[in-house]
């Protein structure tokens, strides 16, 4: 069932987030777009409003900054301008292995991938629960079933958190879906200065495909959304393989 109303999307200026923003605008949702880059936000808002005739509000914020994160929380709690769909998509990647990384970068990654998801999901769940309707979409990753240091651990938290929250808020009329894509052609790896040349072509997904599959699963109340047969098989194998084997795979990089 499609849920009408305004959708708030974090990290919408490229990749999966932009695909979600465009798809939601096509579906007729007014939007609230949250990201750090004011200029890209403004350009995207103008484009979506012009193309689809929807109202687009821009909310510049760095989700690793607690004060700015609080502003987004308050927007989700605004009873006068309710949010019907929350898409927690903002990403953060660190190229170096944990022991070689700047610990402040590791902390910011957790702030964006865990702390922000938790606090925004809480605000949305409270507000949506009061109205008896809403959908929370948390973009996780197939990496949540691997052992890849902080990033995988953060995504594992997102997946398990989403599954737990889904059971809690379902009686209130609110759905929660964890989206678990594999490799997606976006700016994410480039921004993190990651060399992805060794990844075979069959493993790459299109961001629009991920967003479309995710929203179909949201419409059907599914808690986990995995795009692509290759990743459905991979995810099943990882979840049922001996942990020693999973650790070997996770450390093979």
* Integer Cα distance of 7 and 17 in angstroms: 12
Provide the token pair at 107.
């902390």
* Beta strand spans in 103-196 (E): 134-139, 174-179, 183-184
The residue assigned the tokens 């006068």 is: 80
Task: Evaluate the CA torsion angle 124, 211, 228, 175 in order and state its sign.
Answer: positive
Identify the three-state secondary structure at position 147.
coil
Annotated active-site residue 151? The verdict is: yes
What single DSSP character describes residue 190? Answer: H
* Integer Cα distance of 138 and 176 in angstroms: 8
Give whole-number Cα distances, 159 to 62, 81, 178, 253, in Å.
23, 28, 6, 23
Task: Considering the candidates 20, 145, 151, 161, report the single residue annotated as catalytic.
Answer: 151
Is-contact 225 213, C-beta < 8 A? yes
Closest CA to 251 of 154, 151, 148, 153: 148
* Integer Cα distance of 164 and 118 in angstroms: 12
Residues recognised as catalytic: 151
């Amino acid at each position: 069932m499609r849920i009408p109303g305004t959708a708030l999307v974090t990290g919408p200026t490229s990749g999966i987030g932009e695909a979600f923003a465009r798809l939601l605008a096509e579906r007729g949702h007014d939007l609230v777009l949250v990201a750090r880059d004011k200029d890209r936000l403004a350009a995207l808002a103008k484009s979506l409003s012009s193309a689809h005739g929807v109202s687009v509000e821009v909310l510049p914020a760095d989700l690793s900054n607690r004060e700015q994160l609080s502003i987004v929380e308050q927007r989700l709690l605004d009873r006068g301008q309710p949010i019907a769909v929350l898409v927690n998509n903002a990403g953060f990647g660190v190229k170096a292995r944990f022991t070689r990384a700047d610990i402040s970068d590791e902390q910011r990654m957790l702030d964006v991938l865990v702390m922000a998801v938790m606090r925004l999901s809480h605000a949305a769940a409270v507000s949506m629960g009061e109205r008896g309707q809403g959908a929370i979409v948390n973009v996780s990753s197939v990496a949540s079933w691997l052992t890849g240091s902080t990033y995988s651990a953060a995504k594992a938290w997102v997946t398990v958190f989403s599954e737990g929250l889904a059971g809690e808020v379902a009686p209130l009329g609110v759905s929660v879906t964890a989206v678990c894509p594999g490799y997606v052609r976006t700016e994410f790896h480039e921004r993190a200065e990651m060399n992805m040349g060794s990844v075979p072509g069959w493993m790459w997904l299109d961001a629009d495909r991920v967003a479309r599959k995710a929203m179909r699963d949201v419409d059907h109340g599914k808690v986990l959304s995995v795009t692509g047969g290759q990743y459905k098989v991979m995810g099943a194998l990882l979840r049922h393989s001996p942990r020693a084997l999973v650790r070997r795979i996770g450390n093979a990089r």
